[in-house]
Chains A and B, each alone.
Chain A
Amino acid sequence: MGRYLLRRLLQLIPVFIGTTFFIFVLVWAVPGDPFAGKCGDRRCPDAYVDFMTDKYKLDQNIFVQYGSYMKNLLQGDFGETFGGRSINEIVVNAYPNTLKLALVALAVEALIGLTAGVLTGLKRNGFLDNLVLVSTLFLIALPTFVTGFVLQWLLGVKWGIAPVTVSSDVSFTELLVPGFVLGSTSMAYIARLARTSIAENRRGDYVRTAIAKGLPMRRVVGVHLLRNSMIPVITFLGTDLGALMGGSVVTEGIFNINGIGREVFRAIITKEGATVVSIVVILVLVYLLMNLLIDLLYAALDPRIRYE
Chain B
Amino acid sequence: MSDILVSERSEPGADGSGRPSGRLLEVDDLRVEFRTRDGVAKVINGVTYHVDAGETLAVLGESGSGKSVTAQTIMGILDTPPGFVTGGQVRFHGKDMLTMSAEERRRIRGEGIAMIFQDALSALNPVFTVGFQIAEQFRIRRGMSRSDAKKRSIEMLDLVKIPNAKGRFNAYPHQFSGGMRQRAMIAMSLALDPEVLIADEPTTALDVTVQAQIMDLLAELQRERQMGLILITHDLGVVADVADRIAVMYAGRIVEEADVHELYEKPGHPYTLGLLNSIPRIDEKGQQLRTIKGLPPSLLNIPSGCPFHPRCPMVQPVCREKVPPLLQLGGTRASACHFAEEVVNRD
Contacts and interface: CB of A to CB of B under 8 A. Distances in A.
A205 B107 contact: no
Contact of B127 (A208, A209, A219, A301): A301
Given A208-B123, A209-B123, A301-B127, A214 B111 contact: yes
Contacts of A301: 127
Given A212-B75, A228-B127, A205 B117 contact: yes
A91 B109 CA distance: 60
B188 A224 contact: no
Contacts of A212: 75, 77, 109-110, 114-115
A3 interface: no
Residue of A203, A209, A224 ringed by the most chain B CB atoms within 10 A: A209
A308 to B, nearest CB: 16
Interface residues of A, number: 21
Contacts of A227: 125, 127-128
A302 B126 contact: yes
Interface stretch (B6-14, B29-37, B135-143): B135-143
A205 B119 contact: yes
B98 interface: no
A206 B136 contact: no
B108 A214 contact: yes
A213 B109 contact: yes
A214 B192 contact: yes
A228 B192 contact: no
Contacts of A45: none
Given A214-B192, A216-B140, A205 B122 contact: yes
A303 B110 CA distance: 26
Contacts of B117: 205, 208-209
Contacts of B115: 212
A224 B110 contact: no
A250 interface: no
B341 interface: no
B106 interface: yes
A303 B26 CA distance: 41
Contact of A213 (B79, B119, B127, B188): B188
Nearest to B81: A125
B174 interface: yes
A214 B123 contact: no
Interface in B283-336: none
Given A216-B140, A219-B140, A210 B127 contact: no
A142 interface: no
B339 interface: no
B123 A205 contact: yes
B247 interface: no
Interface in B188-227: 188, 192
Contacts of B107: 214
Nearest to A204: B122
A206 B109 contact: no
A182 B228 CA distance: 60
A224 B106 CA distance: 17
A304 B126 contact: yes
Contacts of B119: 205
B172 interface: yes
B124 interface: yes
A303 B106 contact: no
Most buried by B among A213, A216, A219, A304: A213
Interface in B54-75: 75
B106 A214 contact: yes
Nearest to A227: B127
Contacts of B188: 209, 213
B67 to A, nearest CB: 16
B219 to A, nearest CB: 21
A215 interface: yes
Given A209-B125, A228-B127, A304 B141 contact: no
B240 to A, nearest CB: 28
A211 interface: yes
B77 A215 contact: no
A216 B126 CA distance: 20
A78 B79 CA distance: 61
Nearest to B134: A213
25 contacts: A205-B117, A206-B122, A206-B123, A206-B124, A208-B77, A208-B117, A209-B117, A211-B77, A212-B77, A212-B109, A213-B141, A214-B108, A214-B109, A214-B110, A214-B137, A215-B137, A215-B140, A216-B140, A227-B128, A228-B126, A301-B127, A302-B127, A304-B126, A304-B127, A304-B172
6 smallest beta-carbon distances between A and B, as pairs: A214-B110, A214-B109, A205-B122, A206-B125, A205-B123, A209-B123
Interface of B: 75-77, 79, 106-111, 114-115, 117, 119, 122-129, 136-137, 140-141, 172, 174, 188, 192
Interface of A: 203-206, 208-216, 219, 224, 227-228, 301-304
